[in-house]
Structures are given as C-alpha cells and as structure tokens.
Amino acid sequence: MTNLDALYQEVLLDHYRKPRNKGVLAEATADAQGRNPLCGDEVNVAVAMDGDRVTAVKFTGQGCSISQASASVMTQLVAGKSATEIEALYARFHSLVTGTQPLADGEGKQLGAMAAFAGVSKYPARVKCATMSWHTLRKAMGTE
C-alpha cells in the first residue's frame, strides 16, 4: 500500500464512521431509494431543489464502508450545485471508479474527498457500492 492509498483509506473510513449529512431532510422536495443486492447496500437520498439547483441533501442507509462513505462524500460535493454541475461531478466520479479515466497527477487536490475512491477501480465488484448513492441522487433529481 502506498502512502496515498493509506491516506485515501483513512478518508473513506472517516466518512464511514462519521457520515456527513446523514439523517432525515425536513425540507426535502424529492427522494429516491437505491439498493445494491450484491453487497446488501441500501440508501435513501433526499434533496431539496430550487429550480435545477440542489439546495440541501441528506441520506440514510446501511451497507458496506464504500457505499456509505460514498453517500457521505457525495452529499458534501453536490450541496448547492446545479444539475449540470452535478452531472459533471458524477461523470468524473464514474470514470474514476470504473478506471476509464484514472486520477491524473495533481488532480487529487481538485477532486477533494472524491479522489479517495480512485482505488475502487481495482475492485470491479465494488463499483456498484461506490456509484449507488450517485444513481439514487440522480433518480431523486429526475436526471436518471
């Protein structure tokens, strides 16, 4: 394990143990459920939308560390963003975890906690764990 892998592992565990934006969103305007039966992961993503902008987002759920850490990181990344900005974030996340576009030199800082999921590309069976919350968010927003 390289130092970078160890750092990213720590980011994932931190979000798993202390999930951000976990709970019920009182002002939610839409929500959706996601399931990953292969791993037993479940998530509910609730959003408050103002036009096409996500003004607030929270999740509830249970499952493996990757699935729950992904939901936690996602809520931090998308809050306050427009549907177009969120689609761009989702596209980068998807290409990162599937390995179609690995992390570039120096890109880690720009991507923030999202970069911690780069290692998922080495475990194809876990890609669904990582993307479940994003699919569920897009379902709630009506963009999937």
What is the Cα 87 distance to its own chain's centre? 12
Q: Does 41 bind Zn ion (CB under 5 A)?
A: yes
From the CB of 99, what's the least distance to Zn ion, in Å?
Answer: 18
- Of 28 and 39, which has the nearer Cβ to Zn ion? 39
Q: How many CA atoms lie within 13 A of 90 on its CB side?
A: 22
Report the residue from 4, 39, 49, 83 that binds Zn ion according to the rule CB under 5 A.
39
Cβ 108 to Zn ion shortest distance, Å: 23
Q: Does 67 bind Zn ion (CB under 5 A)?
A: yes
Q: Which is nearer to Zn ion, 44 or 67 (CB)?
A: 67
Examine residue 65 and tell whether it contacts Zn ion (CB under 5 A): no
Provide the binding-site residues for Zn ion, judged by CB under 5 A. 39, 41, 64, 67, 129
